[in-house]
A = this chain, B = another copy of it.
Amino acid sequence: MDEKFESYFKAAVSVDNVVFGFDHTGLKVLLIYRGADPYRNCWALPGDLISLDTNLIDSAEKVLQDLTGLEEIYMEQIHTFGKVDRHPYGRVFTVAYFALIKIEDYHLHPSSWAEEAAWFPIGEIPELPFDHNDILAYAKEQLKSKIRRQPIGFELLPKHFTLTELQNLYESILETEFDVRNFRKKILSMDFITDTGLKQTSVTHRPAKLYKYNAKRYSNLINTGFAFDL
């Protein structure tokens, strides 16, 4: 390699994950409490610098797996942030991902980081270090946009869910309201949300039917030119 290239090879690249979760109180984001400099003792997005011998996507997945203990998490790269002064230690580009996890599953597998992580309601995010507030805002917009056109909402719900839960999820993320009858009609007409035959238990009122997402049917539909849009 020519010497003139050397000056370029002095940057670092990190990944930062915006991890979304959902429960009956609404949409939440997983933040970690930093135990090391820079910005020690701050809440921040979970992320890490990338080792030179690790692929980008592997690095993003590893951060999440260390943090949650979960495998097969829905992740998507959303944007790369590269302002010159965004990191105090030097030139650090960060590649942001968003991830959707089922909060229940997360509680089942606490990891070494568990004590230092917490869910924050989307409306109560504190001031974060670096440009993490920007990243989070960007991720939220992406989620709003993606969830309308791709069947990813289910990633935030238990495997079996009620239509009311599904509607609450959409209303919460899209910050809007749907008519109960029309919402159900539309969802069920799409034919890839199927009745499990089961019902809620331990509720103090009429139990709702439990449904599940049928990925196979969805991909069949896609192949016929169908486009999900809510």
Q: Which residues of B contact A52 (CB under 8 A)?
A: 7-8, 10-11, 84, 91
Q: Which residues of B contact A202 (CB under 8 A)?
A: none
Question: Which residues of chain B are near A13, meaning CB under 8 Å?
Answer: 11, 13, 82, 93
Q: Is A124 an interface position by the 8 A CB rule?
A: no
- Tell me which of A73-81, A110-118, A163-171 binds B: A73-81
- Indicate if A122 sits at the interface (CB-CB under 8 A): no
Q: Mark A49-65, 1 if CB is under 8 A from B, else 0.
A: 11111111100000000
- Whether a CB of chain B sits under 8 angstroms from the CB of A179 is no
CB distance from A222 to the nearest CB of B (A): 14
- Closest B residue to A38 by beta carbon equals B1
Roughly how many angstroms separate A79 CA and B142 CA in the complex, as a whole number?
14
Q: A9-B10, A55-B84 are in contact. List 4 more A-B contacts (CB 8 A).
A: A2-B37, A10-B10, A11-B12, A56-B93
Tell me the nearest residue of chain B to A79, going by C-beta: B77
Chain A residues packing against B (C-beta within 8 Å): 1-2, 5, 7-13, 37, 49-57, 77, 79-84, 89-91, 93, 95
Of all chain B residues, the one with the shortest Cβ separation from A96 is B80
How many copies of this chain does one complex carry? 2
What are 29 sample pairs from A and B whose C-beta atoms fall under 8 A apart? A1-B89, A1-B90, A2-B37, A5-B49, A5-B90, A7-B52, A8-B50, A8-B51, A8-B52, A9-B10, A9-B11, A9-B12, A9-B90, A9-B91, A10-B10, A10-B12, A11-B52, A13-B82, A52-B84, A52-B91, A55-B82, A55-B84, A56-B81, A57-B82, A77-B79, A80-B80, A80-B95, A82-B95, A93-B95
- Cβ-defined contact, A93 with B90, below 8 A: no
Residue numbers in B under 8 Å from A49 (CB-CB) = 5, 8
Q: Which residues of B contact A84 (CB under 8 A)?
A: 52-55
Whole-angstrom CA separation of A90 from B37 in the bound complex: 28
A81 cross-chain contacts in B, Cβ below 8 A: 56
Report the bound CA distance from A13 to B56 in whole Å.
Answer: 13
Chain B's closest residue to A148 (CB) is B227
Q: Flag if B50 contacts A82 (CB, 8 Å).
A: yes
A16 to B166, CA, bound (A): 40
Minimal Cβ-Cβ distance residue in B for A225: B176
